[in-house]
Structure 1
Amino acid sequence: MSNSPIQNPKVDVERVNEIKKASFWVSQVFIIIATVLGVYLAASQGYKQAVQFENMKSYKESYYLQKSLQYELQDNIALLKTYIGKLQNANYYGARNEPLNFYSLVWDNMKFSSATLATPPEFLRQAQGFYRNVAKLHDSIAKSDISVDNGLKQLRIEIDLVEQDLIPGLEKSTQTIKQELSGTDVIL
């Protein structure tokens, strides 16, 4: 071990003088402001992109849900028309009690989909009314609570409501969604 005295580190006089100058502090303030502003702008743009992505995803899910409901209703109308044809056939005695066997995959699974509530409420209400009213009419016809002729008239009214109001409404809604997504990279 040597007995040499500990030397003080040399202080850079130029550096100390630079720190004392106002230009040093002004440049540091601008660096801090630029950093904060840059972080804010990046976060803001990221948030906007996330919201836009979520909206496009919601539109796409809503489009597919409404289109699927539209197709299911069209198929069920065809089944109902077949049932009506059987009821009108005087030689077919089992028609009153024949089950409708509606397709209900979409309707049943809509209760588990977050996109269901993005569907305009009037469409959900009309579809719900259709299913409910047809089931009630079918049951009343089967139990002879109402005459076949009266039941047929009421079933035709239900068909007309769906064909003239609900299905065109769903078609218009899906076309609006399709136009909304036309300028994006979303493929329907």
Structure 2
Amino acid sequence: MRTSLPKKKMNHSELTSSGFWVGHILMIIATIAGVYLAAQAGLQQAILFDDVIARQNNYFLRQSLYEELQDNVAILKEYDQSYLSRGISANQIKANSPKISRYVWETMKYSQTTLETPSYFLGETRRFYAQVNDIIAKRESFTYGPQHASKLMQAQLENMENNVLPKLKANTQYLATYLEAFDVYVDDIKGVDGKATL
């Protein structure tokens, strides 16, 4: 004959207590709020990180364009004084056609950062190269005389020196200052202070 053990009575009285339910509901709300706030903070940090990286890439692209344009202006000034403005033969002027660099400008076609560059700089650079090419070609074919070609070239160079380059320099300085606020020092990254960093 089996003897049955006495059944223990469970005390469920706390389940009927409003304090129990309020405490658990507050714990659930706090957990959801905590997860949400942590996700928001993580998202904001990720967005900020992407923004800093994008601005750093923009800085280097625009600074490289600035340096290339500055070099090309110097080459074209020398070319204008030595050849374009002088009444020399077709052979001489063609033999001394300027060798300006377009490496950065051409490379920008393949960079996703290019279209983040203000359209003013892209448009002015495109027009500058197109106009300079046209002036040189028309001078070499003797469509333009030396004085007219030189006058047109000087107008292009003055616009680049007095308007475009100063604005592009100011733009890159703004980006450098913005990055410094996040402890990103572009001169250190470039290694211009003698110690390159990763």
Q: Kindly tell me: are residues 23 and 150 of structure 1, through their superposed partners in 2, closer, same or farther at Cα, counting changes over 3 Å? A: same
Sort the Cα spacing of 1:20 and 1:163 in 2 relative to 1 into closer, same or farther, 3 A: same
Taking the aligned partners of 1:127 and 1:11, their CA distance within structure 2 comes to 89
Equivalent pair of 1:76/1:102 in contact (CA under 8 Å): yes
Compute the displacement of 1:95 (Å): 3.8
The alignment status of 1:96 with 2:90, answered yes or no, reads: no
Structure 1 partner of 2:14 = 18
Deviation at 1:21, TM superposition (A): 2.0
* 1:118 and 2:113 aligned: no
User: Could you list the per-position Cα deviations for residues 40-65 of structure 1 after superposition, in whole angstroms to 9, with x for gaps in the alignment?
Assistant: 11111111111111111121111111
Quote the Cα distance in structure 2 between the aligned partners of 1:150 and 1:25.
90
Equivalent residue number for residue 130 of structure 1: 128
Relative to structure 1, the CA distance from residue 80 to residue 21 in structure 2 (aligned partners, 3 Å threshold; closer, same or farther) is same
Cα distance in 2, alignment partners of residues 115 and 130 from structure 1:
21
Identity of aligned residues (%): 30
For residues 46-105 of structure 1, what are the alpha-carbon distances to aligned partners after superposition, in whole Å with 9 as ceiling and x for unaligned?
111111111111211111111111100011112212221331455776442133221111
> Given that residues 57 and 113 in structure 2 are in contact (C-alpha distance below 8 angstroms), is that contact kept between their aligned partners in structure 1?
yes
The equivalent residue for 2:80 is 84
Tell me the distance in 2 between the aligned counterparts of 1:11 and 1:173: 80
Matches within 5 A, 1:32-111: 32-87=28-83, 88=85, 94-97=91-94, 98-111=96-109
For residues 11 and 47 of structure 1, the distance between their equivalents in structure 2, rounded to whole angstroms, comes to 52
Cα RMSD, aligned residues only: 2.3
Q: Would you say the 8 A contact 1:72–1:103 is kept in 2?
A: yes
**Deviation digits for residues 140-183 of structure 1 (CA, Å, limit 9, x no counterpart):** 11111111211011111111010000110001111111222222
Contact 1:141–1:147 at 8 Å: present in 2 too?
A: yes
Any idea what the Cα deviations from partners look like across 1:2-43, whole Å, max 9, x if unmatched?
A: x968979x65623x2222322221111011100110011111
1:20/1:147 CA distance change after superposition, 3 Å: same
The aligned counterpart of 2:193 is none
SS in 2 for 1:145: coil
Which secondary structure state, in structure 2, belongs to the residue aligned with residue 71 of structure 1?
A: helix
For structure 1, the 5+ residue unaligned runs are none
How does the TM-score come out when normalised to structure 1?
Answer: 0.88
For residue 108 of structure 1, report the CA deviation from its aligned partner: 0.5
AA partner of residue 64 (structure 2): S
Structure 1 residues 18 and 147 mapped into 2: Cα distance closer, same or farther (>3 Å)? same
C-alpha change, 1:69 and 1:12, in structure 2 (3 Å) is: farther
Change (3 A) 1:90 1:148: closer
